[in-house]
Amino acid sequence: MGSPWADDMAPATDAGQSERASALESWVAWYIETYEAWEQVPACWASHPAMVGELEAAMDLRLGIDTQTAGDVLAAGRGRADWHDYRGRMTERLAATPGAACAQRGEHREPRSWDREASSERRRQARRAERTRVAG
């Protein structure tokens, strides 16, 4: 599981990546069960990079809050309130990821890859159609 932020972090070893992936898998299972999020996070979440990135950021935030606020009841309360605000926004973002369609359908749909040539052709067709509409 790669991350676009990898340049900001120390080089990961295969063992470190495996450990991180395992931690994320366990955390996502906890998240789904705790928040009854099976309608937002499909079983195939790990096949959808945008969903992985969102869940990985949530895991890091939650673990950071728990670590920073350990032993401080007031800070823990504020941290948990911040977490729930974040979680609400994250739920909206998860619904906008390509993997959300899998959750809605109840079955996996392979992520689409970008076809540069087809995309260019669709833009050309749209411009032609717009010129025809304006001229007509």
pLDDT tens profile 66-120: 999 999 999 999 999 999 999 999 999 999 988 888 888 888 877 666 666 767 7
Tell me which amino acid residue 76 is.
A
pLDDT tens profile 29-62: 999 999 999 889 999 999 999 999 999 999 999 9
pTM strictly above 0.85: no
HSE (side-chain half, CA atoms, 13 Å) at 117: 0
Q: How far apart are CA 128 and CA 126, in angstroms?
A: 5
Task: Please give the pLDDT value at position 104.
Answer: 80
